[in-house]
Amino acid sequence: MTEPIGPVDASVNPRYSGIATFARLPRIEDVPTADLAIVGIPFDTGVSYRPGARFGPSHVRESSRLLRPYNPAQDVSPFAAAQVVDAGDIPVNPFDLGEAVREVEVAATELGERAQRLVAIGGDHTLALPLLRAVTKRHGPVAVLHFDAHLDTWDTYFGAPITHGTPFRRASEEGLIDLTASCHMGTRGPLYSKQDLEDDERLGFAIVSSEYVEEHGVEAGIRRMLDRLGDRPVYVSIDIDVLDPSHAPGTGTPEAGGLTSRELLRMLRSLRSVNLVGADVVEVAPAYDHAQVTGIAASHVVYELVCLMAAQLADPQAS
């Protein structure tokens, strides 16, 4: 087996130099094969409030320059355990939302034939729908582990069925979601009505809210999350607004009272034994960020997901 090609050596080339691939990893075209691909999707036509998440992938890449090749919290060297690459961006139509969704599904399906796992950087949360369509072609219905301030199971906005607030309703209706094992984490804030919660449960989701984590603690939230997921294949979808605005101001629909970055990272690290089949990190809008606060948080979230998947690819029995 050929040794994986890792990131650019920061002792030879300063971190602030060179092309900003994620964590300074090789590009997909620079390696013979890839196990895990990180791909950007610069698209925000589905947003209902602040635009700007189309610039998220480049911002997260720039914010990832300080990431290092060994993760002591997980005791894994992800870039040595698997061939991890930056697959660049999926170019999508910014004027036609329906066409963009189709383009993402096709590109993610094709990329999934070159790499065993994908981690996508958005872009807005509309992207979860085509990404789920692509991943379920290989794995069937998946348990969706959804970190977000919001439910994203609303029906329509302005009569439009596909937006960043509706992807998981459409996914549930299309049979992409395991209705017995999916879970929202970190939800909070006002809703349109109590009916939103009733619809959400019918669509297949349980909820571990930010209030629950505050009252019972992170470990209790993790136990509820893992009990819900069971042994199903899991797709992780993370809206960066699950974090409190003090930890992630650069996002489109901020809500007070969110998780800290430390709490989110702890929750992700607890997924070591879960069969992760794909992931996305979305809604980073750099125009509202400062000092890369949101970008750094998002880059570490992506890194933790990569570490989990790389470890599982190296030792499939561990998941």
- H runs (alpha helix) in 113-175: 128-139, 167-173
Residue type, 203: L
Would you tell me how many other CB atoms lie within 10 Å of the CB of residue 26? 19
Closest listed residue to residue 83, CA positions, set 12, 147, 155, 32: 32
**Residue 148 marked ligand-binding:** yes
Q: What angle do CA 209, 214, 215 make, to 5 degrees?
A: 100
Residues belonging to the chain: 319
**Residue 239 marked ligand-binding:** yes
Strand partners, 89: 40
**Residue 289 marked ligand-binding:** no
Strand partners, 274: none
Q: What angle do CA 38, 53, 267 make, to 5 degrees?
A: 60
**Residue 125 marked ligand-binding:** yes
Q: What are phi and psi for residue 43, nearest 5 degrees?
A: -150, 130
Closest listed residue to residue 283, CA positions, set 93, 48, 20: 48
**Sign of dihedral through CA atoms 10, 294, 252, 240?**
positive
**Angular region, 204: left φ>0, alpha ψ -120 to 50, beta rest:** left
Helix (H) or strand (E) holding 197: helix 195-202
**Residue 35 marked ligand-binding:** no
**Residue 199 marked ligand-binding:** no
CA–CA separation, 148 and 151 (whole Å): 7
| Residue numbers belonging to the annotated binding site | 125, 148, 150, 152, 239, 241
| Residue numbers belonging to the annotated binding site for Mn(2+) | 125, 148, 150, 152, 239, 241
